């Protein structure tokens, strides 16, 4: 189980996360929605320690830490529990697909190169890139680059993979190949926290949807509830805007 309690984060006087509580059980697929600037990326970055939250608690199963006095050792232990898939892939352009996946395993995880390459090939096979090991990012489509990004996160065998708008930089015809990889991962029981506005993905795959605005969770629940009977006016407004959503009772 991943649990975050009362996470707060400000950039100077801009409060970006204002007491966020989320609980994710193993195998859950949680979709996080919210308007631009509501704090979604910052939340994922705090969970992955790319950003340091000002306060709050984070727990992965039996390891718990308080952001106000977290140690480097805790950070290094807890960071291993999450993988991150970036909006813009974040691949090394001067490295092949295979090296992009393997490099973190070798340097951050201290896995032997032989083992790291074996894991990396398996991960690339899983995202349908068996024939692209030696291709550089510039030789791959955006969808293929993002699949390398997913393979890289998956290869670390994290407790949860955090996806930050993984398809929003893609041309429309490439979105479905990435979503189908994500759906397969979900079906296999991968625990996922996904920022996306792909409603079909949320409806089909998520077991929990969280809507946040201005650094707070406005509403959360199963997709059938959030999408068909949103309770909060702010949620209704948002869904109407992104989805032209009109067929629920107001």
CB of 170 to Mg ion, least distance (A): 15
CB of 127 to ligand ADP, least distance (A): 24
Termini Cα distance of the chain:
35
Stretch near Mg ion under the rule CB under 5 A, chosen from 3-11, 39-47, 59-67, 100-108: 39-47
Nearer to ligand ADP, 87 or 176 (CB): 87
CB 182 within 8 A of CB 206: no
Nearer to Mg ion, 40 or 234 (CB): 40
Q: Give the residue from 30, 40, 9, 78 showing the smallest Cα distance to 164.
A: 40
Residue 36 binds: one of Mg ion, ligand ADP, none (C-beta under 5 to 8 A by kind):
ligand ADP
Residue 42 binds: one of ligand ADP, Mg ion, none (C-beta under 5 to 8 A by kind):
ligand ADP
Which of 29, 32, 39, 41 lies at the binding interface for Mg ion (CB under 5 A)?
A: 41
Contact footprint for ligand ADP (CB under 6 A) = 11, 14, 16, 34, 36-42
CB of 164 to Mg ion, least distance (A): 6
> Would you tell me which residues interact with Mg ion (CB under 5 A)?
40-41
């Amino acid at each position: 189980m991943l649990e975050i309690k009362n996470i707060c984060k400000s950039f100077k006087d801009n409060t970006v996360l204002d007491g966020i509580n989320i609980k994710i059980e193993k195998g859950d697929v949680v979709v996080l929605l919210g308007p631009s600037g509501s704090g979604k990326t910052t939340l994922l970055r705090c969970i992955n320690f790319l950003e340091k939250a000002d306060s709050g608690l984070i727990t992965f199963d039996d390891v718990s830490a308080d952001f106000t006095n977290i140690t480097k050792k805790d950070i290094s232990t807890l960071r291993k529990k999450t993988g991150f898939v970036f909006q813009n892939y974040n691949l090394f352009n001067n490295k092949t697909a295979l090296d992009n996946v393997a490099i973190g395993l070798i340097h951050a995880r201290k896995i032997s190169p032989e083992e790291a390459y074996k894991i990396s090939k398996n991960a690339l096979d899983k995202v349908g890139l068996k024939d692209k090991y030696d291709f550089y990012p510039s030789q791959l489509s955006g969808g293929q680059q993002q699949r390398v990004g997913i393979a890289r996160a998956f290869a670390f065998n994290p407790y949860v993979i955090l996806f930050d708008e993984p398809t929003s930089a893609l041309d429309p015809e490439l979105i479905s190949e990435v979503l189908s990889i994500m759906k397969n991962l979900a079906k296999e029981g991968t625990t996922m926290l996904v920022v996306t506005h792909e409603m079909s993905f949320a409806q089909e795959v998520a077991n929990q949807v969280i809507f946040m605005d201005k650094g707070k969770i406005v509403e959360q629940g199963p997709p059938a509830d959030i999408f068909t009977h949103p309770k909060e006016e702010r949620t209704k407004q948002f869904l109407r805007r992104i989805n032209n959503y009109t067929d629920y009772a107001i």
